């Protein structure tokens, strides 16, 4: 005879990480969340642009030195 099988936990409990319960958002909350995400994305892109502009400036200075010689 086989020993009695243990009841299997629900699929959401198998992973070991607990998830927050889903809370329906109002359309206003959805739009505000999208605005926040877009603002964050733009801020990251601006930081990346500043980095790339500094790199371009360095390369342009190097070109001037190379062209002068």
Supply the pTM of this predicted model. Answer: 0.59
- Residue 1 or 63, more confident: 63
What are the pLDDT digits (tens) for 10-57? Answer: 555 555 678 989 999 999 999 999 999 999 999 999 999 999 999 999
What are the angstrom distances between the C-alpha of 5 and each of 9, 12, 60?
A: 12, 20, 72
């Amino acid at each position: 005879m086989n020993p009695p099988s243990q009841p299997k936990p629900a699929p959401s409990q198998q992973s070991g990480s607990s998830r927050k319960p889903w809370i329906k958002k109002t359309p206003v909350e959805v739009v505000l969340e999208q605005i926040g995400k877009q603002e964050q994305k733009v801020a990251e892109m601006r930081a990346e642009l500043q980095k790339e502009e500094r790199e371009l400036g360095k390369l342009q200075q190097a070109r001037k030195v190379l062209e002068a010689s």
